[in-house]
Amino acid sequence: MNKSYYNINFIKKISIVLILLPVFISNYLSEQFGITSMVFLILLVIPFCFTNWKSLFISFNYMIKINYIKLLFLYLIYCSFTLAFTQDFSAGLNMILLFIVSVILGLLFSQYKVIEIYKHLAWSGLIYTIVLYLGIPNLYFNYYTESQRFAYYHGDISLNPNYFSILLSFFGMYFLYKFISTKNYKLLHAIPLLMIIFFIIETHSRSGLYTFSIVSLISFLLFAKKSILTYISGAFLTALLFIFIFTNINFSNNVDTRITELDLNNRNLIWEVGIEKSLEDPYKFIFGYGKGTSEFILGESNLLYSVINDEGKARTNAHNMYIENLLNLGIIGLSLLILFSLYLIKFFYRKFEYNTSLVPILIYGTIIISGLMGNQMRTYYFVIVFAIVIAYSIQKQRELN
């Protein structure tokens, strides 16, 4: 990376380490201190605001020259337009704000060595996960589980194992990047990578395991440096993952029944209903029902599992980023999302360099592949990982110029 980028001082390192806390204890922060996750995030990134504002303005000019950023802004403008006819203005606005905050945070991150930010994020996330797995938070926090799946908790610590497995994948992408791109000390990076795989398996989440295995396989095929050890390790890792996915092995806690069963827990039925709802009205197919409305539209079907909100309305998660966008924004919004994603991958793949391209490709590849089984773009941690992609984009654009 360019030497003009600032090093991360101790205070900023602490901010990065703490920035993941709302993922784990958002309920506790809200109930005990009245602090929402986004307020907590804003407070923690304040140290990054003390930077050279002239350099920040220059970075902004570089950012708005990037084609996929222009498409992202167009996508957000269209999202804002659909708020005029949404059934859930608050949810729709919140999803738009996640993108906006992420872009601002990425602009701030672009002044620093981004890989150092990602390193502290990945290592702190792994340490938090180890602490959680060992049950140490039970000494202080009040939470419980109704399942034997890891990271399925309610109370002070509230986690969904499917989303958490994707978060683990984001941590794993850092160690995968180090494993692929470095010639020395591969074992040092393989150990945390294998730990991430272990924790993903412990969540019993097929979406997380499928996402991590597909991104890993593509990464080794396309980006691994010509090293016998790297290819052997990649083949071993891929074979191991596919064994876990497709072979009935008698793990403890019946993990095989979660990972290897062929059904999709009625997600395919949800997707069918979502497509039918979109196609039943040509106007809705083109323009959508409005940002944030998809859960209500799916909830109208008595065939699907729903959650009743405080107003007595049924809500059903689409479990698919693309169908959710089709319902919310119509074919126009879905096309903008796909186009923006393709241009993003093209931007980093063009004049590919390990130091500036591999990490953002791995991160965004995780987002678009996991989107087949869920939507990471509505989560707190999306703001952080997408900010890393934005920061790399600005730095790469600066180098291309």
* pLDDT tens, position by position, 186-215: 778 889 999 999 999 999 888 898 899 889
Residue 68 has which token pair?
Answer: 């996929």
Distance of CA 155 to the CA centre of its chain: 23
Within 8 A by CB and 6+ apart from 369, the residues are 210, 211, 214, 215
* Separation between Cα atoms, residue 305 and residue 296, nearest integer Å: 12
pLDDT given for residue 336 in this prediction: 97
Is position 2 within any domain? no
Residue 183 has which token pair?
Answer: 């010639």
Q: Is 226 helix (H, G, I), strand (E, B) or coil?
A: coil
Is position 5 within any domain? no
pLDDT given for residue 352 in this prediction: 86
Residue in this structure with the two tokens 């929402």, named with its chain if needed? 36
pLDDT given for residue 216 in this prediction: 86
**DSSP output for 285-309:** HHH-S-TT-HHHHHHT-TTS--EE-
Is position 4 within any domain? no
Is position 243 within any domain? yes
Is position 86 within any domain? yes
* Separation between Cα atoms, residue 334 and residue 305, nearest integer Å: 25
* Separation between Cα atoms, residue 321 and residue 301, nearest integer Å: 19
Beta bridge partners of 153: 159
pLDDT given for residue 223 in this prediction: 73
pLDDT digits (tens, 9 = 90+) for 20-41: 999 999 999 999 999 999 999 9
Burial class (CB in 10 A: 0-12, 13-18, 19+), 270: buried
CA distances from 63 to 60, 77, 394, 396 (A): 5, 17, 5, 10
Q: What is the number of domains present in the chain?
A: 1
Q: Which one-letter DSSP state was computed for residue 146?
A: S
Is position 324 within any domain? yes
Q: What is the CA radius of gyration of the chain?
A: 21
Residue 173 has which token pair?
Answer: 């992408």
pLDDT given for residue 128 in this prediction: 97
pLDDT given for residue 256 in this prediction: 46
Q: How do 314-315 and 154-155 pair as beta strands? A: unpaired
Residue spans of the chain under pLDDT 70:
1-3, 185, 224-265, 302-306, 309-310, 312
Q: Is 317 helix (H, G, I), strand (E, B) or coil?
A: coil
* Separation between Cα atoms, residue 177 and residue 74, nearest integer Å: 31
Residue in this structure with the two tokens 């991590």, named with its chain if needed? 212
pLDDT given for residue 251 in this prediction: 44
Question: C-alpha dihedral over 122, 125, 131, 136, to 10 degrees?
Answer: 160
| 224, 234 contact by CB (below 8 A) | yes
| 82, 283 contact by CB (below 8 A) | no
Is position 356 within any domain? yes
**Helix axes of 186-202 and 114-133: crossing angle, nearest 10 degrees:** 50
Closest CA to 172 of 188, 156, 196: 196
Which domain covers residue 64, as residue numbers?
10-400
pLDDT given for residue 355 in this prediction: 84
Q: Which one-letter DSSP state was computed for residue 203?
A: T
Is position 211 within any domain? yes
pLDDT given for residue 309 in this prediction: 66
* Separation between Cα atoms, residue 121 and residue 63, nearest integer Å: 23
| 390, 102 contact by CB (below 8 A) | yes
Closest CA to 316 of 364, 277, 358: 277
Within 8 A by CB and 6+ apart from 4, the residues are none
